[in-house]
Amino acid sequence: MFQRFRPRCQRQSTTGDADPDKAVIAETSKLHGNSAYGGTIMDQKKFQSVTYVQGEGKVMVEVNNPQFKNLTTLLQQDEYFEVEKSKEKLDIKLLIQVGYFILQYGKLRMLEFYYDFTDVFVDRSDLQYCEMDTDSAYMALSGPDLASVIRQHMRDTYQRALTGWCRDNVELELVKTTSKTMTASKLLRRAKKLPVKRLAHRPRLVREVKLSSKGITKRRVKAPMTTFRRVLSTQRLGSGTLKGFRARNNVISTYQQSRNGFSYFYCKRRVMADGVSTVPLDLEMCPIPMGIAKSKTPMEVDEPETVMEVELDVNDRYLIHHLETNFESDSE
């Protein structure tokens, strides 16, 4: 099934890149490819059933049900209610290993592209990674294209290694930004559509601005680049207006609210003083709480002064005594 499904999605998704009139076919094919493995990692524990009951007596029976979750009054005069309940029985039969390994191998492949390909053939002073996702990487180059910033003594090796990352007779896509001194190279890899060790690309120039505004409708963002630059320069949140429809008390009404959709805070890495470069966070996740006092030199721990004393109860003393007697018997 997958042998027939993958080539079909790959073929139809690239038709929209070559012909803009077939963009609907390409987007639909991409949706099929994403849902094919995305549906395998759904949380079935969140599934619920919705029933409609009439009468106070019947709704009280539903409320006392152990699977009851929420109650909504639809018609108060007629005592008509909507009852949400969790499933009494869940048949968990999704192939979660499929979606899990597709995403994990996609992330691994993007890291391999940076450390085994980009970092080998391009000097770090000529390249700056801007963003990386599971299937894409955005970078700023000091030259007009990737080939122009390849190390001089590795150009022959680069041409031979390129075939292992991109399809034959394909050039990497360049998406020009508003800055005249910067070009971004976008590399797309569809882990669920392309064979391993292959990168996909868009042969036509992408003119639309790709952005992320969590909580705010994108079509209402009039000047996204100006908004993002203002947030980066002022280090203040950017807000926007959100409009829509909401059903409440069996009545549909419009609403408008102001929400923060452009955040400067970045919690995954530490941003340097230039506001662009990032380094890993200086922390280490430890599952066991350490009872060590603070000192001027964190790397040097003086055990007699820093180890905290813990009060022992009767069970702890018995266990210690039991262990000591066992050690004594073994030594004898």
pLDDT along the chain (332 residues), means of 10: 72 75 83 82 87 89 90 84 90 85 87 91 89 81 87 90 64 41 34 36 50 70 77 78 75 78 76 78 64 48 44 61 55 48
For 172-224, how does the pLDDT look when each residue is reduced to its tens digit (9 = 90+)? 444 444 333 333 333 333 333 333 333 444 444 445 566 666 667 777 777 77
Dihedral angle sign, alpha carbons of residues 160, 166, 170, 176:
negative
Structure-token pair, residue 78: 């007629």
CA distance 11 to 315: 68
Return the pLDDT at 1.
Answer: 56
The per-residue b/e assignment along 96-107, b for 16 or more CB within 10 angstroms, e otherwise, is: eebbeebbeebe
| DSSP run (H or E) holding 9 | helix 2-18
Return the pLDDT at 115.
Answer: 92
Of 122, 180, 164, 120, nearest in space to 147 by CA: 122
For 99-127, how does the pLDDT look when each residue is reduced to its tens digit (9 = 90+)? 888 888 888 988 999 999 999 999 999 98
Return the pLDDT at 313.
Answer: 60
Return the pLDDT at 244.
Answer: 77
> How does DSSP classify residue 41?
G
CA distance 332 to 330: 5
Range list of β-strands (E), the chain = 48-54, 68-75, 80-86, 127-132, 136-141, 173-176, 183-188, 238-248, 251-262, 270-271, 278-279
Return the pLDDT at 150.
Answer: 92
Return the pLDDT at 201.
Answer: 41
